[in-house]
Amino acid sequence: MQQTTKSNGLNWLALSVIIFLVDVGSKFIVLSQFDLYDSVNLLPFFSLTYVQNFGAAFSFFLGQRWILAIIAIAMSLFIIRLLYKSPKEEKLANCSYALILGGAIGNLFDRLYHGFVVDFFDFFIGTWHYPIFNIADIAICVGVGLLLISSFMSKKREKQE
């Protein structure tokens, strides 16, 4: 019997679309208001600083645009399949998948459209700077964190049964 969106996690794709739109919208604002490396200090430890990331997280795979795009497409298709197979009751796992998917597609769009990812959140203490990131990166990290929590919770439930 074939599953419908009422019985699986595909309804969570709406969250992926929201994440994608907020991410792309924020990057559009940065691109329209900032020149490369422009920075606006908002707090003693936080600035908006426009940079271009030609790699992945922390600039891994620097300059490997097409490899990163292929990985993002493959992972996105895998996550959509996970949402399709996941029961709708698995809300935390489905939310996790949707966050990761929305972030992955946001950064994929940048890679394909610009040739780089637009990053702009800059946290620092003194001269130490955390790698600059964007909303898509936040969605991916939160999604992975929630996925870990979901995994631990499901293992705990299995032990109780």
The question of whether 122 is a catalytic residue gets the answer no
Q: Which among 23, 110, 119, 122 is annotated as catalytic?
A: 119
Distance CA 121, CA 64 (A): 23
Nearest to 71 by CA among 85, 57, 84, 58: 57
- Three-state DSSP at 73 gives helix
Helix (H) or strand (E) holding 21, with range, is helix 13-33
The question of whether 137 is a catalytic residue gets the answer yes
Distance CA 26, CA 9 (A): 27
- Three-state DSSP at 161 gives coil
What is the CB neighbour count within 10 angstroms for residue 50? 20
Order of strands across the sheet that contains 46-53: 39-43, 46-53, 117-125, 128-129
Distance CA 115, CA 112 (A): 6
Q: Which among 23, 110, 122, 137 is annotated as catalytic?
A: 137
Q: Which residues are catalytic?
A: 119, 137
